[in-house]
Structure 1
Amino acid sequence: MLRPIVVGLDGSRESLAAADWAAREALLRGLPLRLIHAWEGLPSDAADLPELEAPRYWARRILRGAMDRLDERYPQLALSGDQIARPAADALVDAGAESELLVLGSRAFSGFGGFMAGSVASATVAHVVRPVVLVRADQSPEDEHLPDPAGLSPARTPERAVVVGVDLARCEELLAFAFDSAALYAAPLRVVYAWQLPYMPGAAEAKAREAVRKIAERRLASVLAPWREKYPTVALQPLAEEGRPAQRVLDATSDACLLVVGRRIRPGRLGAHTGPITHAVLHHARCPVAVVPHE
């Protein structure tokens, strides 16, 4: 049985943009799309109190409105929707565990042009065991393609790059997701590995920097070699760059359609478990961000 792509809806512009992105992704992957609206205050239909009619009406309207919108835009899509009377983060974590991909909206980060996850999205990303993609409210299909100087429709121009930030010690799950996505989109794949020079006297710094750079480039090439063979059609752009990892990854996303980062799976459900680099990237990336959990 095919795993669906799941979208969490709350009626916001961000969640509607996430639903649109997920619909296009579902069509590309040949998967069904499931919409979820979860709220712990959602009353049971058995509760017949007049004061519960308003929240029940708005809950139905959020889900029905999104389904009608997607039915009109993507008539060939296999679409379903569910209302769940549970805390949103708990419902999304459980639904995400049974999905191929979980897609959520992210609030704009005022004044910086990036985005940040709200409390529900943050809690979900920190605990779900499947990949999660966060999408900004202003994301559109045109943003997935490079602009054309001749003024052609963006849909007819090449796809923007997929970018993945890697720690070479544990990156198999990230690279699998990133290569699959790049192959699916027919997009180039930019693999970013950031390294930093330890402190040393100035006289030795330049020589040491060149040596460390070459080692980093060789290590990255070695890790990517089997993936080049497995995905010969993906145009690979390896970048072994000096600097802080979060900043180097963000710098590489100026023309990206998707950024892929990792989250190490840790036991327990209390607190955030995204890691400092992923946390920083989620606050400032302009493109959709896929967070891939790994051991």
Structure 2
Amino acid sequence: MKAFTIAAAGMSAQQTNLEIIANNIANINTTGYKRARAEFADFLYQAEKAAGSPSQSADQSVVPEGINIGSGVQISSVRNVYTQGELVHTGNSLDLALVGRGWFQVETPDKTVMYTRAGSFNIDSKGQLVTSDGNTLLPGITIPEEARELTVSRSGQIMAVTGKNSDFQPLGQLLIANFVNEAGLRNIGDNLVTRTSVSGEAIISSPDDAGFAHIKQGYLEASNVDAVKEISEMISAQRAYEMNSKVIQAADEMSSLVSKMR
């Protein structure tokens, strides 16, 4: 009976959907996290009778509608939703939030360029800006040991008072990346994504340029996970899973009934 495999496919898809929702909820407090959502697609159909085929009536007319039986559902993709997260004030001069489209560029210890929305930076022993995992912010900017009153403008210019000077001195310019197809970026973990062939090459520019985010110093971007929405979708996934399990139960009862009639 096809109902068994169809319902089993439905249960499998909803289980994956629930895992995606669970990951969203788990990362509700992760800086810069972007929620994911499952997208569904139906499986192939089996044509029992094609539309336009001859009917079995005496006048040899054709049937206007065919009989196509589906074979279930599948997860076609998992899409990240790149909407802006809420800005959380920290007051830390090295906390930078991106407001709009864009990604910080960072270099991992193995010299791989990655991208992140988590703008919680520190200064390492060499005076360079690094993430909490030790990835170096690109382009590399060195902060002098005697620097004080560090400021980062909305356009990414980094300035500070250094030495005996009372005036702000420019230390460097932040550059951020954009992609033609953000949906094509691949999540790596540790708040990092990497480009792929379908995301396109990184487009580099200064913050606040047309089409690029601006910098908000002293803030961090919270995740864009909405707890109420996730709970609602979790309940919906649970109900869909239960309904598919009831289909299996009903199909089993029908099969048992047929067996008893033989």
Q: TM class by shorter-chain length?
A: under 0.3
TM-score relative to the length of structure 1: 0.19
Task: Answer 1 or 2: which has greater helix percent.
Answer: 1
TM-score relative to the length of structure 2: 0.21
By relative contact order (CA 8 Å, sep 6+), the higher-ranking structure is 2
Instruction: Please tell me whether Structure 1 or Structure 2 has the larger radius of gyration of its CA atoms.
Output: 2
